[in-house]
Chains A and B, each alone.
Chain A
Amino acid sequence: MVITVIWGAALFLLLSFAVTKRGLHLFEGIIIWVFLLFIENNVLWLVCMNAKLIEMTKQELDFVALDALRSVIVPLLTILFLEKVSIRERKSGQVRDWIGIVFLLFGIEYAADFLGLLQHISTWQWWWSFSWWAAFVLLSYAMHRLIRRIAKKDVRI
């Protein structure tokens, strides 16, 4: 059931992403998606496999559901945030977007815990997750700025 709901949401998000007008160039999209996967998976592997601070599910179907979260839903939401924040003119709107995306990603992590896809160990502090997602969004934003500067030299955006 969990796999159906999460993969259903991921595919719907992916479809909506593909059929709506994008503010991001294809090349930016590819590079940023890989970058997001890179930092997310590296940190997840370090936290889960090396430090054992979070335990990933041992059920194969739940693991596939978790994959939808980390490989599709989280990168797509972050890319949508980057698109939105890059066209916002008012600072207040930008601040709202920043806070919104960090809370959203934080909420997704705890929803995954609630659904049994991963489990934080008892000593885990909620603000570690919050700090991680804030850093994740900040890094994504910096990467997007850098890639956009390179892309603008070669293509129209």
Chain B
Amino acid sequence: MKLYLPQQFDGNESFCLILLGITAVITFMLPPRFPMIVATAFFSIGLGIAMYVDFHLGIPPIDLYRINDRDQYELFDLILFITYSAYSYIYVYFLDKWKLRGMSISLYVLAWTFAGIVLEAFAVHFHVYTYKGWSLAYSFLFYIAALMVTLYIYFLMKRTYQQTKRDSSKDWT
């Protein structure tokens, strides 16, 4: 029982590493905005959603796409999940920073949906994903739904934080 290494280090592995590098740099460059426990929860949401979907749609009997070189689980599949973690954090970071309200929230979700699609199109080009019955059109639905769920959890967490925060802890307005 082992976590496989790539069959050949080529485009898909480079893409995963570059993506991981970019998201890590952006995440660490952003000034801390959330209390530690809140930031951890936001990182968890992206990881949870990506992993849940890939562990269901990417394996038999459903098996709609292959991730990286093999049908088995490999190291770069794991790295890919970590980048989704940063994706959801950056998404809520700017949502919170710009204090979006009303229609601008919808447009923000739509913009991130398209960003996700473009990123996935590149990932397909570099053979990170090999579709076996999936298409970018389905990904559009997936991203919009995942971002809406994340948005709902963001508002829920913000309300819960205001209700339960300690007097001495950081403000999150």
Contact = CB atoms under 8 A, between A and B. Distances in A.
A and B are partners in one complex rather than unrelated chains: yes
Interface of A: 25-27, 30-31, 33-35, 37-38, 41-42, 44-51, 53, 56-60, 63, 67, 71, 147, 150-151, 153-157
A69 to B, nearest CB: 13
Contacts of B47: 34, 38
A49 B170 CA distance: 44
Interface string B1-21: 111100000000000000000
Q: Is the interface of A mostly helix, strand, loop or mixed?
A: helix
B164 A41 contact: no
Interface of B: 1-4, 35-38, 40-41, 44-45, 47-48, 51-52, 55-56, 59-62, 71-73, 78, 153, 156-157, 160-161, 164-166, 169-170
Nearest to B2: A50
A27 B38 contact: yes
Contacts of B169: 153-155
A46 B73 contact: yes
A17 B51 CA distance: 23
A56 B164 CA distance: 42
Contacts of B59: 45, 48-49, 56
Given A26-B160, A50-B4, A154 B61 contact: no
B62 A63 contact: yes
Nearest to B60: A58
A31 B40 contact: yes
B40 A150 contact: yes
Contact of B61 (A35, A47, A60): A60
